[in-house]
Each structure stands twice: as structure tokens, then as C-alpha cells.
Structure 1
Amino acid sequence: MKFRILTFIFGLLLLASCGEYNKVLKNPDLEVKYSYAKNYFALGKFSRSATLLEDVVPMFKGSVHAEESLYLLAQSYYGMRDYMTASQYFASYYNTYPKGEYTELARYYSAYGLYLDSPDPRLDQTQTYQSIKQFQDFMEYYPQSERKAEAEMVQFELQEKLALKDLMAVRLYYNLGNYVVGYPFPGGNYSSCVISATGALRTYPYSKYREEFMYYSIRAKYDMALESVKDKKSLRYRDVIDEYYTYINDFPDGLYVKQIVKIFENSQKQIEDKQFLEQ
């Protein structure tokens, strides 16, 4: 019985709240709408604050409320977790008010919202690149900001996501091997594996995936050497050996040392056998 009474009371309060909100929506007084928008924002009712602010922000241009209302609109969408729309309004704010009261915060939250919206590494990473660029801009504009350390940490995390995406491509190229017929590049998927791994090592030199990039590059080069024509075998085995020394120097106790040492020994043997036959 008590539960039914409480449910009934809650329903009445909800109806009253909805009724009040609908009246405010129809109210032509911009000051009233803005006042309610700020109240709804403070209460965490971001959908309502955003709807009201969408009405008043265009009308407030050039007024004393223009700057604050635009920033609150961006924050309302941020609170709704609509980070793309929030980022657009944050950008509108800091482009309109480059020295505004909330410009530093707008730049930071625009970048951070895109970070929160950054998709799985298997998907398109446009938002990830945008977030990295905006964090770079933020740190250039505010090198002494108290948020700089967090911005650097998040930026590195985003770069690791891009590195992982590249690593997934490297793994795929290697696993495909020679399965794809008519591949347009000499060396087929192994060559693409090496090119992708080498590019990733240059782009992300401090990535936690560095060892694995090197591992797949060596394996792909070794497999290319195995399948090479006779005239190219020695050169490619020597390339594998050079890669081995780089790997061992960087990761003397690495995860793939046993496999890499075996590849190195086989490559050396292939070169020695060839030299013996040529004598």
C-alpha cells in the first residue's frame, strides 16, 4: 500500500515537472528560458537545458549572456554524452571567444570529449586523430595549464590505440602470407607487413607494441628470403641478420627472443651454405 502511494506521489511530481517544462518551452521570454536552462543544467537535466539553450543561444548573440550561454550549451551536450555535438559547440565557443572566460576549458573538454568518443581500434579513427590534434593545440595554447599532465597522458593513450590499429594490420598481412593471388607489390603480403611495421616503428617509437612490430618485421623478411629467387636470397638473409641485432639490442630479454634467435641461426646457415656451394 505504501509503495502504491509513493508511486502515485512520484507520478504527480513528474507530471508537474513535465508541465512546468512544457510551459517554459512555449514561453517567449528569453530571460525566463535561460534561467530555467541554468537550473536544469545545475540539476543534471542536460537534455532539457540543451533544448532550452538551443532556442536562446542564437538570440543572445551580442548580448551579455552570449558567451556563457554558448559554453553551457556545449557542456549540456557533453553531459548528455553527445561528445561530437559538444565538441562542435566548444569549438564554436573558443573560435568566437579566443580569450573568453571559458576558452581553456572549452578547448580541453572538446578534446577530451572526442577522446571519450574514440572508437574501437578496428573502426575508423577520425575522432582519435581529431582528439590528438586538439590536445596538441590545447598544450600549445596553455603550456602551464594544470590539465597539461592529464592531456599528455590521454594523448599518449590515443596514440597507443592508433599503434594497435597498425599492429592489427601488420598481423593480418603476415597471417595472409601468400594466400592472396595477384598481389600488386613484390613480396606480397609479407612486403606489406614489413612496410607497415617499419612505418609504425617510425611513427610510434615509444609504443608498448614496439617489440611486436619488430618481431613481425623480422619474420616477414625471413619468409620473404625463404621464397626469394636464388639471386636475392643472400641479400635478404643478411637483412634479416641486421634486423636480429637491432632487436636483440633493444630487447635482450624480449618475449620473442627464442623465435628470433632461431631465425637468425637459420639465416646464417643459409648464407654459409650458399658460400660453401659457390667455392
Structure 2
Amino acid sequence: MKKLVYLLAILLAFSSCSEYQKALKSEDIKTKFEVGTQMYDAGKWSKANRIFAQIVPNYRGKPQAEKLMYMYARSFYEMKSYIEAGYQLGRFENAYPNSEKVEEIAFLAAKSYYQVSPVYSKEQQETVEALEKLQLFVNKYPNSELLPEANKLIKELDYKLERKAFEIAKQYNRVAYFESSDYEAAIKAFDNFLADFPGTSFKEQAMFYRLDSAYKLGINSIDTKKEARLNTAINYYDSFKKFFPNSELLKDADKMNEEMTTAVQQFNTKS
């Protein structure tokens, strides 16, 4: 019995393959549509896509066009061809704004951009585009059942941009080497980061590294600029301690503050 079932499965597979090959070579667009739909329903996305690509121009303006374009666009997403999927799904959304599938398609179009968003360490143009698309979806479909997932994706993308900006600012701090312009650039980078991402999970580290940059700038400054820069750094210390009184980094921050306070006192004594 098992052998019979196995043989039937093989025969069905060969039959399906043969039917598919015939449909590819056929000039009958109706046959292509039917076989392509069978492939799509069976989850054979690549085969379905290949057939659909042959007949899309022939169905423009016809009643079956909406179904065909839905399956064609969706097959790109299922094939993980996300760039093409974003384009084709967007075309469907524009062409059939009243379709019962348009909300689903709009979400998948936006999600296609999310899928090509790179790791935070790389250029984030795709991430910005994905955020824009997902935000448009949220604004357009505020009551969608897909809203929780859309917000989850937005949160992930926001974090990438946040991490990217933090690492750039941190890099300024790392590469600075007793050059005032280097430390000033680091301080500005952290100031911008904290302004752009007020609720960031990196706030503690950002405020500490800003203090560290200001501390190094002040300690290594010439006398005419030293006092003012040290006082600025001490203000950064006060802010850090206020926001994070139990920080594990506070011990290092306290050492900086002690050195800066002593330096300011000595500077005042001299003057």
C-alpha cells in the first residue's frame, strides 16, 4: 500500500511538472492563467511567477487582471525578491485602491522595504524608506489588524537608526586624540544624538561619553580656554549624576569630576 501511494505521488509530480512545462510553452493565456494559479495555490511561487510574467500584459483591463496582479505581486514577496516585491505590490495598491486585498498588499509593500533594511553598521537609506512606508500604512489604516506588527517593525527600524547615530558619536570620542576640534566634534555628536533621540536606551552611555569628551577637552586645553571648558564639562557631570545616580559608570565620572574641580580651583588660585 505504501509503495502504491509513493508511486501515485511520483506520477502526480511528473504530471504537474509536465503540465507546467506545457503551460510555459503554450500560446493559450487562459491555460497559463489556470496553471499559474495552481502553482500559486500549491506554494510554488517561482513557477507561478514565471508563468504570470508571460501573461500580465495580456490581462490589462480584463476582469481577471486584479486577481492576476495580486498573485503576481505577492509571489515576488514569497520568493523573497523584496525589492521587486515592493515595486509590484505598490503598483497593485495604486491600480486597485478599492480592492479587498489592498490593505494586506499595502502592508506587504511596506514590509518589503523593511526586509531589505541592512544591519545598523551599514548605510541606512533603506531603513529610512522602510520607516516612511510603514508610517504611511499606519496613518492610512489606523484600525488595521496588522497595526501591532507594523508598530513592531517601526520600533525595530527606529532602533537601527538610533544605534547607528550612537555608534557614530561614540566613534568621534574614540578617535579623538588631544585635538580640540576632535573632542568638540564628539560633544556636538552626542548633543545631537540626545536631542534627536530623547527617549533612547543609550542615554546613559551617551551622556557619559559626552562628559568624557568634554573632560578630555577641558583638561588638555590651553589656559585661555581651560576654565570655561572645564566648567562646561562639570555641568555635563552634574547632568549625568542627576539622571543616573546609580550608574555603574558613576565611579569613573566621579574621578573626572574630582580632577576637573581641582583644576578649576587651582586655576582660580593662580588668577
Q: TM-score, normalising length from structure 2?
A: 0.90
* Residue number in structure 2 paired with 1:258: 251
Matched, 1:31 2:24: no
State the number of aligned residues.
Answer: 270
What letter matches 2:164 in structure 1? K
Contact 2:19 2:35 in 1 (8 A): no
Equivalent pair of 1:197/1:213 in contact (CA under 8 Å):
yes
Contact 1:173 1:192 (8 Å CA) reproduced: yes
The answer for the alignment partner of 1:144 in structure 2 is 143
Counterpart residue identity of residue 133, structure 1: E
Rounded to whole Å, the distance in 2 between the matches of 1:140 and 1:190 is 41
> What is the one-letter code of the residue matched to 1:134?
K
Instruction: Indicate the residue corresponding to 2:223 in structure 1.
Output: 230
Aligned counterparts of 1:220 and 1:7: Cα–Cα separation in 2: 71
Alpha-carbon separation, structure 2, partners of 1:230 and 1:90: 63
Specify the alignment match of 1:183 in structure 2.
Answer: none
Q: Is the 8 A contact 1:119 1:125 kept in 2?
A: yes
Q: Are residue 93 (structure 1) and residue 92 (structure 2) matched?
A: yes
Q: Does 1:48 align with 2:47?
A: yes
Question: Any stretches of 5+ residues in structure 1 without a counterpart?
Answer: 180-185
Identify the residue that residue 17 of structure 2 maps to in structure 1.
18
Question: 2:108 maps to which residue?
Answer: 109
Written as runs of structure 1 = structure 2, the 5 A alignment for 1:78-227 is 78-178=77-177, 187-227=180-220
Q: Alpha-carbon deviation of 1:99?
A: 3.0
Distance 1:112 1:254, change over 3 A: farther
What CA distance in whole angstroms lies between the structure 1 residues aligned with 2:45 and 2:103? 22
**In structure 1, how many angstroms separate the alpha carbons of the residues matched to 2:107 and 2:249?**
40
* 1:31-69 deviations in Å (ceiling 9; x for gaps): 222222222122111111111121222222211122222
Amino acid at match of 1:59: N
Please give the secondary structure, in 2, of the residue aligned with 1:41.
helix
Shift of 1:225: 1.3
RMSD: 2.4
C-alpha change, 1:98 and 1:247, in structure 2 (3 Å) is: farther
User: d(CA) in 2 for partners of 1:205 and 1:58?
Assistant: 50
Q: 88-97 or 188-197: which moved more?
A: 188-197
Residue 155 of structure 1 and its aligned partner are, at CA, apart by 0.6
Q: 2: distance between equivalents of 1:176 and 1:218? A: 16
- 1:248 shift after superposition: 2.1
Q: Distance in 2 between matches of 1:96 and 1:277?
A: 77
C-alpha distance in 1 between matches for 2:5 and 2:213: 69
Unaligned runs of 5+ in 2: none
Aligned mates of 2:11, 2:181 — CA distance in 1: 70
- State how far apart, in whole Å, the 1-side matches of 2:30 and 2:243 are: 65
Identity, % of aligned positions = 26
| Alpha-carbon shift at residue 162 of structure 1 (Å) | 1.2
- Structure 1 residues 62 and 254: alpha-carbon distance in aligned structure 2, compared to 1, 3 A threshold: farther
| C-alpha distance after superposition, 1:145-204 (max 9, x if no partner) | 12222212211111111111122222222221228xxxxxx7333222222222222222
Deviation at 1:25, TM superposition (A): 0.9
The aligned amino acid for 2:200 is S
Once residues 188 and 9 of structure 1 are traced to their aligned partners in structure 2, the CA distance between those partners, rounded to angstroms, is 77
Secondary structure of residue in 1 paired with 2:218? helix
Q: Which amino acid aligns with 1:80?
A: M
